[in-house]
A = this chain, B = another copy of it.
């Protein structure tokens, strides 16, 4: 006996009858030969922002790390257990990935928590609070700006945070080195969970819609 959720079993049966049946050969080859994705996506856990959905990506295409609010810490080789750093290291060193995309999204609960520390049911003293501390004083500076609406501050911090993560990502020596050699590109993106639009970061740090 098992108590595995029914909706997951049904979903898996759909997968077997659908994509797996259609792409069986490719999926088996991928298993046999190993994955060779060219792109890593660092995304949020949010159920509305799955990279595979947003980029209509199939098996083998995207190496995906997802944490709360898609944050990247600075390079801290201190012996601690850094999950995000381990993912980046694996992608760059073991998989030789060519692109890393930090992908934020609208109405992000983690960013909201950072702008509203201690907002119930969360508690600033908990893991979320400490995790979002990775943004340092960025949220505080923004909260002081009462000229912007709550929604504008949220979008602003979502984008500021992506730029911050990109800066942090470049503190990894191998990321910086490969980027300098033109072998690795670092990108920012922001997904609008309502309109479905993808805004990508240009060289000035601004987010634009490339499909417009």
Which residues of A line the B interface, CB within 8 A? 1-5, 7-9, 11-16, 18-20, 24, 27-28, 30-32, 34-35, 37-40, 45-48, 50, 52-68, 71, 73, 77, 79-91, 93-94, 99, 101, 106-107, 109-110, 113, 121-122, 126-128, 130-134, 138, 141-142, 145, 147-152, 156, 159-160, 185, 187, 189, 193-196, 198, 200-206, 208-212
Contact = CB atoms under 8 A, between A and B. Distances in A.
A188 to B, nearest CB: 9
Nearest to A49: B59
Nearest to A137: B147
B55 A185 contact: no
B81 A131 contact: yes
B147 A142 contact: yes
Q: How many copies does the complex hold?
A: 4
A187 B5 contact: yes
Question: What's the dominant secondary structure at chain A's contact region?
Answer: mixed
Given A53-B19, A211-B9, A152 B83 contact: no
B151 A147 contact: no
A152 B156 contact: yes
